[in-house]
Structure 1
Amino acid sequence: MITAKHSKNLNLPHLPKKRSLYNKLLSYFPSIVFASWAGTYLDLYFVGKNLYEFPVRPLSEIFSINIAFTLIGLPIITAIFLFFAKRIEGWRRWGLMIVGSAVASMGERLSEYSGFFLHTEEWNHSYSFFGYLLFLVMIWNVFKWTNIGLSKKMS
């Protein structure tokens, strides 16, 4: 068997190491945990202020928020968002965040019509759009910040 080694006399750069699937998935983990944590505490805050409620939720006698969404749904949605966001650049990523915020806001309204989510009369649905946009920007920045060291290690 013949193996090729990088000659020390050449000035060519080393080829970057390929990241394993485990390392790729691990790179999402801090952002997903942050999203779940932030979503949980935002829900607790807004439910505590009586701005919205979750009439249908698992373990309703224990939790005032829908923990199924914050512990399962939100991490999955975050992973999907990050998967696409890291593959596009600049204004396209902003477009993804804007479209994602609009879709999330529409999903919120659909959830209201289905009886899973209720807002007070004072709630303005434009709050949701801008809140989701800010949330996605924060998630993206956490992802970039937590992956700075990984990208340097792997190159």
Structure 2
Amino acid sequence: MNTVKHLKGLSWQLLRKRPFLLKAAPYFPAVIAASWMGTYLDLYFVGRNLYEFPLRPFPDIFPINVAFTLFVLPLFTGMFLFLMNKMRKWGRAFFILFVSLIMPVVEKASELWGLFKHSNGWNHGYSFFGYYLFLVLIWGIFKRSKEK
């Protein structure tokens, strides 16, 4: 019977491979929460006529862009959490602030492309604070799910 031994001068630890689903498990609660929150917030704001989605799949059925809330938002949330998980505390704080600051610009660009339309009473400062709270909450959900 042959056994494999470490070289005496080698100080590397054995790499333990964790299955992908175990590594990704903490992401699922936060990504699903982001999708649900995005869906319900869109339904609320569209219902209040604060914004609308002129181009959306199944416009006769859904008043919101379900492609965004079911596919785009979870994808970007997963990427956001992956990057945040690699950063230190102050880096995370600045990253959340940075993403929150660029979201009003992204919204304005999406309005120019015809994907989004705000009411005249909308202030893009609302978007900054809304995304800031949203991202902090999603990060908190991720941290909690990672602890368990």
Q: TM-score range by the shorter chain?
A: 0.7 to 0.9
2:140 alignment counterpart: 141
Letter in 2 for 1:61: D
Report which stretch shifted further, 84-93 or 19-28. Answer: 19-28
How big is the shift at 1:17? 6.1
Deviations for 1:32-83, whole angstroms, at most 9, x for unmatched residues? 0000000000000000111111111000000000000000000000000000
- Counterpart of 2:8 in structure 1 is none
> 2:101 and 2:22 mapped to 1: Cα distance?
31
Q: Percent identity?
A: 49
Match of 1:101 in 2: 100
* One-letter amino acid matched to 1:2: T
Contact 1:101–1:129 (CA<8 Å) still a contact in 2? yes
For 1:43-54, list aligned pairs within 5 A.
43-54=42-53
Unaligned runs of 5+ in 1: 5-14, 150-155
Deviation at 1:18, TM superposition (A): 5.0
TM-score by length of structure 2 reads: 0.88
Distance in 2 separating the partners of 1:19 and 1:40: 33
Q: Equivalences for 1:1-150 in 2 at 5 Å?
A: 1-2=2-3, 18-149=17-148
Number of aligned positions between the proteins: 139
What TM-score comes out, normalization by structure 1 length? 0.84
Q: What is the CA–CA distance in structure 1 between the aligned matches of 2:85 and 2:141, rounded to whole Å?
A: 12
| Post-superposition offset of 1:3 | 6.3
